[in-house]
Amino acid sequence: MRLDKYLKISRIIKRRTVAKEACEGGRVSINGKTAKPGTEVAVGDEIEIRFGDKVLRAEVTRLAEHVKKDEAKEMFQIIENN
């Protein structure tokens, strides 16, 4: 699954265009490497997103094309949020 789509479906980022812009701006990395919006995401990958001086690190635990709002939190596990 594409990174920008995953971020939107998992509701880590609310809009796909915002997720795409974050990736293009170099603020998102997967397993320590800067990622583009089309980078493929797999279960077990570690995603790091930088929002200004804050950093969110999460591990991908599940992939799904469609999920309900309350099930979206099962798609990732937060490692660090500061």
Give the pLDDT confidence of 10-20 residue by residue, as tens digits.
Answer: 999 999 999 99
**Domain limits for position 31:** 3-81
Q: Which two tokens stand for residue 59?
A: 């591990």
Q: What is the pLDDT of residues 28-47, one digit of tens each?
A: 999 999 999 999 999 999 99
Rounding to the nearest 10 degrees, give the CA dihedral for residues 21, 54, 64, 14. Answer: -60
Any idea what the CATH number is for the domain that residue 74 is in?
Answer: 3.10.290.10
Q: What is the number of domains present in the chain?
A: 1
Answer whether 0.85 is exceeded by the pTM.
Answer: yes
